[in-house]
Chain A
Amino acid sequence: MKGNSLAVMAWRNLWRNRRRTVLTLSSIVFGVFLAVLFTALQDQNWADTIDLAARISGGHVTIEHPDYLDAPKLTLTIENTGRLKEIAAETTHVERVAERISGQAMLATAADSFGAAFLAIDPADEDEATLSMLEGLVEGEMFATTRDKGVILGARLADNLGVGMGKRVVYTMTDVNGDIVAGLARVSGIIRTGSRGIDGGLCLLPIDAVRAIVGYAPDEATQLAVFIDDQRQSDVVADDLQGAAGADVAALPWHRTQPELAAMIAMKVGSTRFIEALIAVLVAAGIFNTLFISVMERMREFGIMNAIGFSSGRLFALVMLESLWLALVGLAASVAVTAGPYFYLASTGIKLSSIYEDVEGLDVAGITLPDTMTVGIFPENAAIIAIAAVLAIVLSGLYPAWKAGHVEPVETIRLV
């Protein structure tokens, strides 16, 4: 028999014990199915979460003063933001760039006073795609200019301060010399996002108004938020920007500026990978069992084949081909079984509120996750699962195949 007929023989052998093969296939399908859905759920959700985190804080890549990360201070600024914005805009993957000043202020009204974080922005740079909280602008509107006399408050903060639209708010902060300075603004917008931190502790101010008060130059800011088309390129883009912008500034990917979120994702991804690996080992053990028994049952047959001139190498190849067929059929069946649920989950998704009761919003490291989770697998992860499945199956066939190759014709033929 020639090589391709060996494959035919292996195929037929596989179906001699139909039930056993089907059961083995079902464990492969189950394993692949789980791995694909687990991975797809994570790939999509973490990608979404990272994009969302970028829109809540400083972008996928943040350009800031090299010391700002360790001790954020108003004095640690970047200059020449105009030139940096041009550099960023010319870098591949970059979609948007926004210059900002962020810091802390105390807001006071006749009624009360509260500490809050402020974000000073250029209205020309920002919209919902760079600052997700703008989706929650329920009253009023975005600043008209960078010198606008308005302030946009979180809804809870406005409530606590006892102010509504058009009312006066005094904001107090420290300037570049460490002196306490104050500015006056009228409430020009209210934001309601559902997140306690934003609604209760954040205000937006126009960037040039804040520059004038804290004593910054016209092209000075605390950060440049850079948004890119694929969060997985954050490191690459950060490196490119760092190279182009020089050592006076630091270009940091999101996982440096938000280590808590990165740690959470690493922990979740790690534990899923771990369970996936465990399932892979168990599926492989099951396949090994099946292949091994099917070889032991046929030792007499292999003995005869060997006696009539089938070399050890070809017996080995025969069993290896059987496990390869098993892998290929298993993979095909897995695709067939997984496709339906996958596309359902990719298009319709799962509602988190159906799993957790009374959910107000799941916060991971300060980022509120969207309620509906959809799936989407990165192509390279799908390829890794397919390769891992085939490898696990083929490797489980090695020992049985070796056993078949080392058949002792005389002894086995005597076996009854």
Chain B
Amino acid sequence: MLTVQQIINGLLLGGVLALVALGFSLVWGILNIINIAHGSFVMIGAFVTYWLFDLFGVDPFLSIPISMMVLFVLGYAIQRGIINWVVRAPALITLLLTFGLDLLLSSLALLWWKADVRSVNPSYGGSRIQFGTLVVPYVQLSTLILALAITALLWLFLARTRLGQAIRATAYDHTGAKVVGISLGSIYAVTFGIGAAIAGAAGSLVAVVRPISPTMGASYTVLAFAICILGGLGNVAGALIGGLIFGLVDVFGAAWFGAGYADAVVFAILLVILLLRPQGILGREYSGGTAEG
């Protein structure tokens, strides 16, 4: 039964990882921005949940909409006020810009909140469902379900709403989008805001399952980057599949080779996948136009 338990653990972990990668994938796929500050957005989301819980006793799951709103506003403002100024420059320039942003956000957080490692421990934190020898902690199960729900909502939004269609149209052909009256500046800002909001939700979920600190962001950025490549860029399902596989491999790698080698195993498998399928598991050749046109 050990391996079934491991599969469960891997999927539970993978759901949160998928959500971490989802916003990153959206921004990369549609705006062609590799957002180095993504991990800092996750960190801010985690701290919104932490402070609401610590100061006002707000349930961590109830704080998700709040951290999403906070990060949407922050992301919208950043894109509108800063990134839009250089959005048509080559991708490496916007990478530089978000690097500066990341430094700014994470060092401000370090100044205000200090380097302490904190965690959110609701009263129901330890409760779990037991099937024979299988154990499923409620908190982890809820994070997986919420991660799946948010992924599904994003997919619905992109596929069915007018705004979502405008966003995809912009990614496909930004000149064409301009011709039919779409305002690129605000579409970019909304897209970046949504990416940040999803990062915020991911941060809230991370806060309930893992310890958090102001410097946690960088490792989540690397993780999101890897998952996007693994799943394939530019589609919602790719981030989900990539995240789940990443979680499974992480758990199995730790079990077979020892916890110290978990990342090495994950990245070794990533290397092999890349060499066999350079476009990612679900990826197609990326055909859409990019912000740089």
Do these two chains interact?
A: no
Q: Which residues of B contact A (CB under 8 A)?
A: none
